[in-house]
Structure formats: structure tokens, C-alpha cells
Structure 1
């Protein structure tokens, strides 16, 4: 049985996933998640995901953004010892962060497809919009766990590709809306 590959992330209403946590990630409106009133229940999805996550996956840029902070973060302590995979053709082995569990560099989409065929539970992709688009175009993503925020950013990295491809149908597995305008949308890819 193949492992599920799940993209999880914060997204603006116009589909931008760029820099939700701050300007250091590069977007001029970075930190847009914090402009929305904090309602704890709107983030309950993140706690639910921790229970299901058996491994993490990142693109190189997201790995380089998260790796200096997540190993010592109280909010991410549950991820510390989980296996991590970084999909990059350029990241060197000596650039990997120590004391953050086993990290493996995958060099291609084919490597990701092979990993999915192995034993284990769900692999969650955090950040990594470019990687998510590439893996979606290769039909490797199985689910999308999205928290959609009531903002329009107009520009930035989009989760979804604009490539001309065959229709990809999704099944709404779960949804909820919260008093701060955030909407939870959990979709399964229909194959």
C-alpha cells in the first residue's frame, strides 16, 4: 500500500501560499497569517496532523527557512525525531541541520514516487510551493489540508500550477469555517 503524500499549508483566498509567517520568506506582505484574529480552534488541524504525520517533506528553500528554527521550537517538538526528506538537486549533504532527526535528500520527482511506494504512514509537505506544484503535476499528491485565510495577496507563490493539464478532481473530505474568517478545507485527490 502506498504512503499518502499530503500538502498542508496556509493559503490566501486567491491561492497564494507565499510567506505566511513573515517577511524573511520574501513576500512584501509576509506574515499575513498574523493579520487575522487568532482563534485557537481554527488551528486545531495542525494538532490533528501531528498525530498522523510519519515523515516531513520540504523543498530546498523551505528546508533552509525552517531548519534553523524548528529543531528548537516548542511548537514543533513533535516533529523533531520524525524522518525528513528534502527534495533538491543542489543541496549538499553537509548543509543538513544536525539534531533534527534523520534527513534524506531526494534528488528527483522519481525519488519521491519511489518513497511513496515504501512502507510507512503519511508524509506531510510543509511550505514548499514550488515542490508541491511539481509533485501535483506528476500526480503524486494524495491530499490537500488547507487553512484558507480571508486575505487577497494578488501576487506570490501559488500552490497550484497553471500548466495545461488534464482535469484533476478532488473530493472534499472535511470543511469548517471559523469566526475569524479562516476556512478549513481538506481534499482528497480522486484517482
Structure 2
């Protein structure tokens, strides 16, 4: 069974919306850069590359990341990795050329089937709506979070408010950095 890992930046109140730039849509966008840069706080992103065998996105995150990451030296290691886009509306001709093999999955059921296939860990980047759906469906196996010391009060959150059964997590690793950022890695137990 392949492991499905959500990785992302998160505010203390659970918002994952527009961490990099106000142009991403949130009025408080760019909140990651509001915190003093401490390189070791971002080391998680490099460490993840060792485990990443494929990437997964929702449609909007794919449309935002693909054209930028394809040209980015910082994301060169992602170039040839298989990519999966979960979307009921994205057409095959809308896929970004020159960014490795990309498959469109049409449903949460398709994601569940992909997890049963041979291969290593699949990392979900951004994609708040997808993360909520997959979490509610109990398909996410691990959360790699960098929690920032900011309260945004509104925006896309990592977890839904759906009435669902309790899900237990086990802390795999945690680190607090001098700038107030917390690295939290949780395995989903059940």
C-alpha cells in the first residue's frame, strides 16, 4: 500500500490558504515571509525529497504550481516524478507539457485505488480542498506540517468541519525553531 502524505505550511489556526503571496487570493497572503527566515525551519522540504516518489495536486494547485515548478531550479527534483491531479473537470489537453508524466484521477475512489498500487510515497502539495476530502475519506497516512506563528482568522483550512469519527495521530517528529515555526510530523494511526 502506498503512503499518502500531506505536506504544507499552516497557520496556528489551521489555515493553509495563500502562504506564499497575496496574489494567491487570501487577504493575508504571503504570511510565510512575514516570519524571520531560519533555513533549518525549511529543511523539511528537502528531507521530503528522499521519500517522494510521486506528487499529487488538486486542479487549482496543479494549475498554479505546474508552470512555475517546471521552470524552477528549486523544484528540479520534481521534474520527472509522476504527478497525479485529482479533478473531475481538468481536461487532458490542459496538462502542462514538459513536466514529467501526469495522470488525471477523477475521484476519491481513484485515489484509493492508486494507494493500492506498487510504489513509494505520494506527497500532496497545497491543494487544501483535496486534502480535506482525502482526510475525510481516511486516505491520508501522514501529515508533514510547518506551523507558523500567525492567526489568519479565515481562509482555506487543512481540515473540514464535517461530522466524522475521531482519527488518532502519533507524533513522529517535532522541532521548534527560534522564529516560532514548528515542524510537526504525524502518522495517522486509525
Q: What secondary structure sits across from 2:6 in the alignment? A: strand
Q: What secondary structure sits across from 2:67 in the alignment? A: coil
Aligned to 1:76: 75
* Equivalences for residues 66-105 of structure 1 within 5 A: 66-105=65-104
CA distance, structure 2, for counterparts of residue 75 and residue 162 of structure 1? 35
Unaligned runs of 5+ in 1: none
Shift of 1:68: 1.4
Shift of 1:25: 1.4
Q: What secondary structure sits across from 2:49 in the alignment? A: helix
Shift of 1:24: 2.0
Aligned to 2:178: 179
After superposition, the C-alpha distances for 1:17-76 in whole angstroms (9 at most, x for unaligned) are 000011221101111100100000001100100111000000000001101100010110
Number of aligned residue pairs: 190
Unaligned runs of 5+ in 2: none
Q: What secondary structure sits across from 1:124 in the alignment? A: strand
CA distance, structure 2, for counterparts of residue 83 and residue 24 of structure 1? 28
Give the TM-score, by structure 1 length.
0.99
CA distance, structure 1, for counterparts of residue 84 and residue 14 of structure 2? 25
Give the TM-score, by structure 2 length.
0.99
CA distance, structure 2, for counterparts of residue 107 and residue 119 of structure 1? 20
After superposition, the C-alpha distances for 1:93-124 in whole angstroms (9 at most, x for unaligned) are 00000010000000000000000000000000
* Equivalences for residues 1-191 of structure 1 within 5 A: 2-191=1-190
CA distance, structure 2, for counterparts of residue 25 and residue 141 of structure 1? 25
CA distance, structure 2, for counterparts of residue 66 and residue 74 of structure 1? 13
After superposition, the C-alpha distances for 1:121-180 in whole angstroms (9 at most, x for unaligned) are 000000000000000111100000000000000000000010001000100000000011
CA distance, structure 2, for counterparts of residue 133 and residue 98 of structure 1? 28
CA distance, structure 2, for counterparts of residue 175 and residue 34 of structure 1? 21
